[in-house]
Structure 1
């Protein structure tokens, strides 16, 4: 035993001597170019990353981008789709936000659910408090739909805090403006479904609760939200008002309030727009306060937007317009931008539309980065939760991400890869959803699979395992990508509500301001 200890000591001494005798250098030697794209690319990335320095000055502006339901699997598939849409193989591509210098992983569970919803998750990011499923910026102690209990449990949001501090504010979504994610930035209700007055349960209004749409118009802080765009006209118009785009439909409010008209009446600078022509006519130089409601419910998927008869702006269009207007405020601004329909396409089991909306989200983030400076603008790009999208099957590099799995044989021939039932299968699928072979009325002995033309069609629903009418959320962590002041504070694995605290720190605002 004694000789073993002596031997170990000698080894340690030799190691120490070797370490101390070697010359110390500040940097590793630069590798010579090899001609291998990935090796040399990694060296270039290393050199670039070494130049990144944390921005520790105060942020003038904060932009929070949310791609609803965009988990890491969706990001990987969208990255390839984006590249392939330009004729590339796709795997080497990066989406705009993937070039941000800092990132972390966000734990998305609600306080009462392993797999969360958008209300609880966005409320965590908007207020700094994790809360229950279905809650809109109401603390976790309140039971779902309990109006009376919720009135003393409102959690102040970053939009409210920014308005009180004199900053300009904006909210954008391709979903209804009253849907969970945008609602959590400006409203407080114990049930995400209380989007308009007719959704309130009996006695709630008398007890002091208000519907989400009215809370946007009646926003009590500062001079109110300055820029709000999305879908959901029906929640803002009275039932006797014809929808401006579809005369066969009317508004949905029974309290007689025309919230769009009330917005316009606030000042000479307040404007309401509902189509692309009106949107394009908004002049940022006139310092407008704009409410845009482009559909009676959700806005179109990006893949379908061009077919809209009245026209509607893209997510990038709305982001650019918001920054042009809000950046006129010398005190700065905060802006939330949601690609809400990534989530909806996943629920349909329709990967094509999900990836196209994720691609548009990337373009909106790129626009924001182009129009602002990382020296004074913190940009955060993340998701509220994931989905059950799967990416598997050993396809060859460059294989169509929306297609059937193909491999290259030893002879160099592209061939379909077959499953154990002798049939081909798609690269993308879902763990559950409407594309399941096990739905009632389907012959469970036969797995239907389309040919390549069918599976690459925009309308195709990817195969799923468990039969559900709507594909569900997933409980996995999602990625936080960040650039600008305080972006360096994103690293490791964090609770989702941490995002709020970084935003407040970047702006040097008190996170505990009273509502």
Structure 2
């Protein structure tokens, strides 16, 4: 990604909070609308969390939906659940980002439809959807590939409904759950793909033994989408970067960033670079910083080798302000005595809290037309 031109920064906020989170942030970059905190695909005229019947003006319309209606091929690729905040903003309108498989009902009997159900109704023409989150689509009693009970409290099996819907429209389609199925698929013969490769989020790539990588899913998606002579729009999310930072596990976050870079490189190798606009950015920043004056070639996962704190303890170059290992009522630990290079090492933070950050974001681009 460092080879791409860096052209602009963007400021993240939403309609009612100074700092955004992923749901309203994704609404902003998918729809150009600033929405309320913790909502997905909602305009700033309503508030989070109460089940109400939405007016048309309160539903943010994503660029992916516009592209699909205009005849472009469209796709979503993510390492999170496909119903999670960022991918859901491409097709869903929910008043709380956690309404992925179960939407509440209000006192008047109106039922708020969950994101997974909206994937069928709103995204039936999206050609490629790949990621995790299969358990959001079926109930506890349904037999599935995964050893995890489904989360749906209704009697619907949305995976079967998706297959039936595609068959009724005589579409060349495939539902994928395993890496073997993924590798055996002839992408030149398929027009619609729903690939859910985990019951929850996909694994970190450092731990991934049997799931498609982000770059592999991106390649498959472009092979399907690029057959449309009119063009395509593809959303690719390296969502595990966010998870690694929320867990204060810098090695996970940084390795997932490299996985996103591989996906970008793969995309550029497959498209006509004179005809394709490629943008790379984030939905928000994290309370993460690279600090100190360590000598050159020191690993960013190590401690600063030139100084210690006033308490005569080392400190990590990759530091977090908040997170799960925040300091409570004891002196801080010395990371020099800990296994800080372990992939699952959790860094100590100042505040035990899970929050995103307000820092401005870079938008990298491959091509801008005058």
Range of TM-score over shorter length = over 0.9
1 CA distance for matches of 2:362 and 2:234? Answer: 19
* 1:277 alignment counterpart: 180
Partner residue of 1:170 out of 67, 75, 84: 75
Deviations 1:50-84 (A, max 9, x none): xxxxxxxxxxxxxxxxxxxxxxxxxxxxxxxxxxx
CA deviation digits over 1:430-474, x for unaligned, max 9?
A: 1112233x225xx33xx3123367111112112211222x3x200
Does the residue aligned with 1:345 lie in a helix, a strand or coil?
helix
Asked if 1:363 is matched to 2:262, the reply is yes
1:480 aligns with 2:370: no
Partner of 1:229, secondary structure, is strand
Larger Cα-atom Rg: 1
Distance 1:453 1:133 in 2: 37
8 Å Cα contact 1:124/1:130 also seen in 2: yes
Check conservation: 2:105, 2:112, Cα contact below 8 A: no
Report which structure shows greater RCO (CA 8 Å, sep ≥6). Answer: 1
In the alignment of these two chains, the number of paired residues is 365
What secondary structure sits across from 1:404 in the alignment? Answer: coil
Matched, 1:466 2:351: yes
In the alignment, what sits opposite 1:180? 85
Cα distance in 2 for partners of 1:204, 1:388 equals: 40
Q: What are the ranges of 5 or more consecutive residues in structure 2 without an aligned counterpart?
A: none
Could you tell me which of 304, 307, 328 is aligned with 1:439?
A: 328
Distance of 1:459 and 1:231 partners within structure 2:
21
Cα pair 2:316 2:335 within 8 Å, conserved: no
Check if 1:345 corresponds to 2:241. Answer: no
* Paired residues of 2:104 and 2:112 also in contact (CA < 8 A): no
- Partners of 1:480 and 1:457 lie apart in 2 by 31
What's 1:430 paired with? 320
Alignment of 1:197-346 (within 5 A): 199-203=102-106, 207=110, 209-219=112-122, 224-246=125-147, 249-265=148-164, 266-267=166-167, 268-306=171-209, 311-346=210-245
Give the Cα–Cα distance (whole angstroms) in 2 for the partners of residues 107 and 303 of structure 1: 31
Q: For residues 367 and 225 of structure 1, do their structure 2 counterparts lie closer, same or farther at Cα, with a shift above 3 Å needed?
A: same
Which of the pair is proportionally richer in helix?
1
Taking the aligned partners of 2:349 and 2:137, their CA distance within structure 1 comes to 37
CA change 1:452–1:323 in 2 (3 A) is farther
Secondary structure of 2:194's counterpart equals: strand
Structure 1 spans left out of the alignment, 5+ residues: 1-96, 408-416, 489-515
CA–CA distance in structure 1, aligned partners of residues 319 and 245 of structure 2: 10
CA displacement at 1:205 relative to structure 2: 10
The structure-2 alpha-carbon separation of the partners of 1:304 and 1:205, relative to structure 1 and needing over 3 Å to count, comes to farther
CA RMSD, Structure 1 to Structure 2 (Å): 1.8
User: Which range moves more in the overlay, 378-387 or 132-141?
Assistant: 132-141
Secondary structure of the equivalent of 1:325? helix
Aligned partners of 1:180 and 1:155: how far apart in 2? 14
1:120 aligns with 2:24: yes
Whole-angstrom distance in 1 between the partners of 2:234 and 2:361 = 21
Contact 1:386 1:473 (C-alpha < 8 Å) held by counterparts: yes
- Is residue 26–residue 86 contact of structure 2 (8 Å, CA) maintained in 1? yes
CA contact (8 A) 2:53 2:112 kept: no
